Amino acid sequence: MFRLSNIIKSTFEEEKERTLDGTIAIWNFTNRCNLSCLHCYSKATVDSRDTLSTDEIVKTLDSMVKAGIKFIIFSGGEPLLRKDIFDIAQECKKRGIFTYLSTNGIYIDDKNLDNVVNNFNYVGVSIDGEPDIHDKFRGMKGSYQKSFEAVLKLMGKTEKVGIRFTLTKETVKSLKFIFNLVEKYRIPKLYISHLVYSGRGLENQNMDLSKKDRRRIVNFILDKAFFYYKSKRKTEIVTGNMEQDAIMLLQRFIKNYPDLVEKLYERLVRWGGNSAGVKLVNIDSFGNIKPDPFFPFSLGNIKEREFYEIWNDNNNPILNFLRTKPRPIEGKCKKCVFLNVCNGGSRSRAFSVYGDLSAEDPSCYLSDKEIRSFI
């Protein structure tokens, strides 16, 4: 996760940037979902059954706190399909864990609205473009209207709400629409996710952007972030699953704000790039622990071992690889002067294309010239 707006503001105003104090867990509490999204990494379906009981989940929370977990993103499938989801959120809050809800929004209504607002520190609702494009991408006609209605209902109660948008060849046509939506309704946050090849996303790699198009889109996003800062708009822009975006920002500063380059660079190194297996962990709906939701291998299962033991296993070769700084990555990363910024990008994408966790991120859009020198 790259907090683009925050790092621009903190660099210009010489204030402390937002840093992650603790580890984020993305927990897929269910694999049930009322939609059938083309990019779904967990291949969620309406017919799936919940595997983990409430007791098993609550029991794991204490072990997670011991391991330094400070944030849990409630994901799925559609997490609101679990009848105990608010009970789980309350148990998290009792332990001082911040709760984030990632939802399609369709099940948010007047009856549970207060429960959602009171039990989650932040709610992200997936909107993937104009109504027709969103409905096609999400596999349900009329889903856009229901999802966006949820955003407006939430905004009537809290500022801790935002839109989640995934970039693909189809949805990218709606990126300007999404920004217009954010500006018109003053939506507090926009999270833009690059595609990772996993689940249905793995089966549909051809939906991903070309490197040329990705550069163009990232530059457009950067333009928006600078415009929002200079015009004092409060909407925060965050990008995900493409740590190379930070290097594009650095290059923008090298060109336009050379006196601030050193300050920005220091912030980017502290941020550290891809954090899978370091400050990011996933628990899937079956209890498998993975370095990120897209990862091809499990580190262990909470039904068999305590979370703390799995996450702190110094003999696990995958964790040792991911936690080496800088990571020993091959290909173009091996000669890249910015490896300590992006940390090699997505290991899940690398494995899905090359079958090798140590290969370069196949979606990296930086040229050989760019990665060899600051200038």
Q: Which tens digits make up the pLDDT trace of 138-194?
A: 777 888 999 999 999 999 999 999 999 999 999 999 999 999 999 999 999 999 999
Do residues 104 and 143 touch, judged by C-beta distance below 8 A?
Answer: yes
Separation CA 277–CA 321 (nearest Å): 9
Indicate whether 44 pLDDT > 50: no
Can you tell me which residue has the tokens 């070309």? 210
* C-alpha 189 chain-centroid distance: 13
Instruction: List, as one string, the DSSP characters of 222-287.
Output: HHHHHHHHHTT---EEEEES-TTHHHHHHHHHHHH-GGGHHHHHHHHHHH-S--BTTTEEEE-TTS
83, two tokens: 């009848």
Mean pLDDT of 334-360: 94
Indicate whether 236 pLDDT > 70: yes
127, two tokens: 């909107």
Mean pLDDT of 118-123: 97
Peptide bond into 77 cis (omega under 30): yes
Tally of CB atoms within 10 A around 217: 17
